[in-house]
Every structure is written in C-alpha cells, then in structure tokens.
Amino acid sequence: MLLIVGLGNPGPSYAKNRHNVGFLAVDEIARRWGFSPERRRFQGLACEGSIETPTGPVRTLILKPQTFYNESGRAVGEALKFFKMDPADLVVFYDEIDLAPGRFRMKAGGGAAGNNGVRSITSQVGPHFRRARIGTGHPGHKDLVHGHVLSDFHKAEMTWLEPLLVALADAAPLLAQGDDEKYQAEVMRLAPAEKADPRALARGKD
C-alpha cells in the first residue's frame, strides 16, 4: 500500500496559494486515477483507489491534512500508524521555495530545510519518507517568504503549473512502483521546466 500526502492549508481562502500546491497535486492524481470521493479521516480529507502499474494495481490512500500546514504531522502520523505502514511507503507532495518555478525533484529522507510541514511530519514518523518537491521559487529575501507562499499563483504561472500537475498524475505508476528517479525524470520530460516563467514572481501581479 502507498500513502500519498499533499500539504496545504484548509479552506477556500488558501485554495490557490503556492503553499497549497501539494493539495493541487494530489487532487490531480486522485482525478486521473478515479479515486473515491473524499471523506473526513485521520484529521484530514482522504480518498482511496489504485494506481495501475505494469506489474498490477497499487492500492493507494491520498490524504490532505486539515490541521493546517505546520501541524500536518498529526494527520500523517495517525494514518501511518493505523495502516502499520513503513515511512518508505509515504510520499509527501509540497512546495519548495528553493527550487525554481516549474522544477520538480524527488528526495528520500533528509532534513526539513525550513519547511514546517515537513518538520511536523518528521517529528511524528521520522525523516525516512519520500518527498515530492514542487518548485515555486524564492521571492528574493527571507522577509518576503511568508507572504510569497501564502499568496495565490499568478495567471502567468498557469503555463507551467497546469502541465506539471497533469504530468505528476500521468507519471504516477512510476511513483507507485517506488522508482522515484524515473518518476522525476518522466515528470520533467512531460512538463519541461523551461515552460516556467521566472518573471512571474518579479511582476507580482496577474
């Protein structure tokens, strides 16, 4: 079994924030692979289904913690404990300001790199889970980070965001097989980072 978690904040006011790109990613995976409707579970919204791979379907639970971003570990820890799963079977999708807009990188284990959601999960399940990091770019100064991640994606950014979300879902069989390196490569093949427009961050408007 695979547990896929998207990080974000609950409620419509946060829905299009850069901090919520983890929610957007797992929503697209659930849509692409025909998962069940969401229901409240594990202090979050959960849906179930299977991702088809060449070796057969992989049963998967998608979870969007509703504890707010910085407390995501409470929901993740509860789900992992319930299913008696190993952290290696956990994949967390989240925004990464240290990656350029449109870039995507997989990573297993490691530190939180200042991400409070990842830090919260680590405190509950340890560091040895898989991280699916979606680049949203850095605003240029640490004092601007809070406002940057809690602001909505600009319309100009849809040119890279929408294809990237589709690629994350279409390539999911590689993720389900545990081949993170190939998954990363296939996502970037389907949605080349060159489509990202770094000027969108500087413009600060639609």
Give the residue numbers marked as catalytic. Answer: 19
Relative to beta strand 104-108, strand 130-135 is antiparallel
Q: Quick one: which of 97, 111, 83 has its CA closest to 5?
A: 83
Two tokens, residue 65: 């913690």
* H or E, element range at 76: helix 72-82
Which amino acid is located at 157 in the chain?
E
At a CB cut-off of 8 Å and minimum separation 6, what does 152 contact? 16, 17, 18
Dist CA 180 CA 123 (whole Å): 23
Which amino acid is located at 28 in the chain?
E
Diameter of the chain measured on Cα atoms: 48
Dist CA 193 CA 167 (whole Å): 12
